[in-house]
């Protein structure tokens, strides 16, 4: 992999020869692992130019709007595969055969129930607790059910954890919602697909029959697929860092949930809907666009922009299509959706957004779809977390399977006080 070398000189003196590594696609990287020996560390807060690991799961070319999982373009996967096929692909490296798919589907379906004791954890939350707070706590609590007999050095045991997490996340997510509205928890049903089952656990009640809408199930499945993985984003990097110490995988996934919650990451879909509510009416769109452009105003258009995609977000292209399909199929009319469409139009045509390459991202459209499906705003990020669980656990598994895996331990540029003499409290 090392084709050439980079020389690092300081004041004209070469202090290190650093190998340049090439992957199968994407930018080459300079391997700086030996730089510490030459007396230097690199400085890259926010990881703007740092490859933190080697990975064969997902490839992104942000400049050209490319996203591929295991080599397959996201648009093909979203249109031609279902979410469980994508889960299998991410976890195992190849698309499943029919027999492998049936087997995988059966394993996931049979792991959807949670231990009855897990339900008790919810009783400790206030009814108005944010469902992401509940998800974070309850997923972390899963580690107490699966810890003593779990050997993360064994690939089959890691895979079993992955299956459990993929299967149980929708159950836990729906329980968080049911708890928040005071309805009884709904058990999963083995005759439903993954997406249907989630909608069933969210919306059915014991008092009457609930039929899952095929439009809603298809849209839900597509939302899951489009959020399944996104290489080394903040939450995935968090899961990797937590897992690098050998920590319990369920606790690592809880760390991923925490990181995803922020409005700059997975919290953007909820923040986007809250923003649409704040705008309230199409007549106020220009006012908010002006606020977003004003440097003295911290307001940003939620659901616009991306750290990696600087031309377009390929997930947003598919999600936009789905969004328009869902709105037409369901015949939904909602003033907020009009605000969203007006905002999309203004932002796509405004020079500020064009010059800064700020486009509607996946969360802009997923928020609108979820709203149209009747999903409460506070559940948006929970649904993102459910979808991303397969990505998180695939990266965790990949990391632990790599030879010579090391605990993640970044360095720092220290700018604090040094060598101060300490005065005892009585003399201060
Ligand atoms: N509205 C208005 N201006 C913006 C926005 C926005 N949403 N996003 C970036 N800018 C401006 C920013 O002010 C800056 O301007 P200038 O160059 O004059 O200082 C320029 O664009 C570059 O912004 P940045 O913050 O340096 O870019 P970044 O790559 O660090 O941040 C981002 C990316 C996603 C955090 C940011 O675009 C943002 O906060 N967007 C809104 C939140 C959002 O929708 N996040 C979801 C991302 S998609 C889901 C996921 O993958 O997690």
- The answer to whether residue 160 sits within a structural domain is yes
The pLDDT of residue 73: 97
Q: 156 and 251: one domain?
A: yes
74's tokens = 């996201």
The pLDDT of residue 328: 85
Confirm whether 130 is a catalytic residue.
no
Q: 122 and 259: one domain?
A: yes
Q: Is 6 left (phi over 0), alpha (psi -120 to 50) or beta?
A: beta
Q: Which residue has the least CA distance to atom 2 on ligand 1?
A: 300
CA distance 53 to 233: 12
CATH number for 17: 2.20.28.60
The pLDDT of residue 181: 95
Count: domains in the chain: 2
Q: List all residues 6 or more positions away from 248 whose beta carbon is below 8 Å from its beta carbon.
A: 143, 146, 147, 150, 152
- Give the mutation target among 132, 300, 357, 368 for probing the ligand 1 site: most ligand atoms within 8 A of CB: 300
- The answer to whether residue 422 sits within a structural domain is no
- The answer to whether residue 69 sits within a structural domain is no
Rounded to the nearest angstrom, the distance between the alpha carbon of 359 and the centre of ligand 1 is 10
The pLDDT of residue 260: 96
CA distance 139 to 136: 6
Full residue range of the structural domain in which residue 43 is found: 5-51
Q: 189 and 313: one domain?
A: yes
Among 355, 329, 102, which Cα is nearest to 219's? 329
Q: 122 and 40: one domain?
A: no
Q: 39 and 118: one domain?
A: no
The pLDDT of residue 412: 96
Q: Is the CB of 301 under 6 A from ligand 1?
A: yes
Q: Is the CB of 307 under 6 A from ligand 1?
A: yes
CA distance 278 to 288: 9
User: Position of tokens 């009814």?
Assistant: 127
- The answer to whether residue 81 sits within a structural domain is no
- Give the mutation target among 305, 346, 355, 356 for probing the ligand 1 site: most ligand atoms within 8 A of CB: 305
Q: Which residue has the least CA distance to atom 28 on ligand 1?
A: 307
> Which atom of ligand 1 is the closest one to the Cα of 364?
44
Confirm whether 306 is a catalytic residue.
yes
The pLDDT of residue 265: 87
- The answer to whether residue 89 sits within a structural domain is no
Q: 182 and 303: one domain?
A: yes
pLDDT by residue for the chain (428 residues), tens digit each?
A: 556 999 999 999 999 999 999 999 999 999 999 999 999 999 999 999 999 999 999 999 998 999 999 999 999 999 999 999 999 999 999 999 999 999 999 999 999 999 999 999 999 999 899 999 999 999 999 999 988 789 999 999 999 999 999 999 999 999 999 999 999 999 999 999 999 999 999 999 999 999 999 999 999 999 999 999 999 999 999 999 999 999 999 999 999 999 999 988 888 888 888 899 999 999 999 999 999 999 999 999 998 988 888 878 899 889 888 888 888 888 877 788 789 889 988 888 999 988 988 888 888 888 889 988 999 999 999 999 999 999 999 999 999 999 999 999 999 999 999 999 999 999 99
The pLDDT of residue 148: 78
- The answer to whether residue 29 sits within a structural domain is yes
The DSSP code for 15 is E
Rounded to the nearest angstrom, the distance between the alpha carbon of 301 and the centre of ligand 1 is 8
Rounded to the nearest angstrom, the distance between the alpha carbon of 377 and the centre of ligand 1 is 21
Q: List all residues 6 or more positions away from 360 whose beta carbon is below 8 Å from its beta carbon.
A: 303, 304, 313, 316, 320, 344, 347, 348
- Which is catalytic among the residues 229, 363, 395, 397? 363
Q: 294 and 384: one domain?
A: yes
Inter-residue contact 121 to 138 (CB < 8 Å): yes
Confirm whether 265 is a catalytic residue.
yes
Q: 40 and 146: one domain?
A: no
> Which atom of ligand 1 is the closest one to the Cα of 307?
29
Rounded to the nearest angstrom, the distance between the alpha carbon of 264 and the centre of ligand 1 is 8
- The answer to whether residue 71 sits within a structural domain is no
Q: Is the CB of 60 under 6 A from ligand 1?
A: no
- Which is catalytic among the residues 227, 265, 395, 397? 265
Rounded to the nearest angstrom, the distance between the alpha carbon of 307 and the centre of ligand 1 is 7
The pLDDT of residue 1: 57
User: Position of tokens 């009009």?
Assistant: 338
Q: 175 and 40: one domain?
A: no
Q: 271 and 395: one domain?
A: yes
As beta bridge partners, residue 17 has 7
The pLDDT of residue 105: 98
Q: Is the CB of 292 under 6 A from ligand 1?
A: yes
Q: Report helix, strand or coil for 208.
A: coil
Tell me the pairing of strands 58-61 and 2-10.
unpaired
Rounded to the nearest angstrom, the distance between the alpha carbon of 356 and the centre of ligand 1 is 9
The pLDDT of residue 2: 58
- The answer to whether residue 99 sits within a structural domain is no
CA distance 64 to 78: 19
* CA within 13 Å, CB half, 373: 34
Q: List all residues 6 or more positions away from 50 whose beta carbon is below 8 Å from its beta carbon.
A: 42, 44
CA distance 326 to 315: 16
Rounded to the nearest angstrom, the distance between the alpha carbon of 420 and the centre of ligand 1 is 40
Q: 163 and 39: one domain?
A: no
CATH number for 195: 1.10.580.10
Which of 51, 74, 89 represents a domain boundary (last residue)? 51
- Which is catalytic among the residues 306, 313, 395, 397? 306
Q: 242 and 337: one domain?
A: yes
């Amino acid at each position: 992999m090392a084709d050439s070398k980079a020389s690092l000189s300081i004041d004209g003196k070469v202090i290190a020869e650093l190998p340049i590594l090439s992957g199968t696609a994407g930018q080459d990287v300079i391997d700086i692992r030996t730089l510490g020996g030459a007396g230097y560390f690199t400085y890259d807060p926010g990881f703007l130019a740092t490859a933190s690991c080697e990975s064969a799961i997902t490839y992104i070319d942000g400049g050209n709007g490319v996203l591929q999982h295991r080599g397959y373009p996201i648009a093909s996967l979203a249109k031609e595969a279902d979410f469980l096929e994508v889960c299998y692909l991410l976890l195992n490296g190849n698309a499943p055969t029919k027999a492998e798919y049936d087997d995988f589907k059966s394993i996931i379906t049979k792991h959807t129930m949670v231990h009855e004791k897990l339900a008790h954890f919810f009783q400790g939350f206030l009814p108005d607790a944010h469902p992401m707070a509940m998800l974070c706590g309850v997923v972390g609590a899963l580690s107490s059910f699966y810890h003593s007999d779990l050997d993360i050095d064994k690939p089959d045991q890691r895979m079993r954890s992955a299956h459990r997490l993929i299967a149980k996340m929708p159950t836990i997510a729906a329980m968080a919602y049911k708890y928040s509205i005071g309805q009884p928890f709904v058990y999963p049903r083995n005759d439903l697909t993954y997406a249907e089952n989630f909608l069933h656990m969210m919306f059915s009640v014991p008092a009457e029959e609930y039929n899952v809408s095929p439009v809603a199930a298809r849209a839900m499945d597509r939302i899951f697929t489009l959020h399944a993985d996104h290489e080394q984003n903040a939450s995935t990097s968090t899961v990797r860092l937590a897992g690098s110490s050998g920590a319990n995988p369920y606790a690592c996934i809880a760390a991923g949930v925490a990181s995803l919650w922020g409005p700059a990451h997975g919290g953007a879909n909820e923040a986007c809907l809250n923003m649409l509510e704040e705008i309230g009416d199409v007549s106020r769109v220009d006012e908010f666009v002006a606020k977003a452009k004003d440097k003295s105003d911290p307001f940003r258009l939620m659901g616009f922009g991306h750290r990696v995609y600087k031309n377009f977000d390929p997930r947003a292209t598919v999600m936009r299509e789905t969004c328009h399909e869902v709105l037409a199929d369901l015949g939904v009319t909602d003033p907020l959706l009009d605000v969203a469409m007006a905002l999309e139009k203004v932002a796509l045509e405004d020079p500020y957004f064009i010059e800064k390459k700020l486009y509607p991202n996946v969360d802009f459209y997923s928020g609108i779809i979820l709203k149209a499906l009747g999903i409460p705003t506070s559940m948006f990020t929970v649904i993102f977390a459910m979808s991303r669980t397969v990505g998180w656990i695939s990266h965790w598994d990949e990391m632990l399977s790599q030879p010579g895996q090391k605990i993640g331990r970044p360095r720092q540029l220290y700018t604090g006080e040094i060598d101060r003499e300490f005065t005892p409290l009585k003399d201060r």
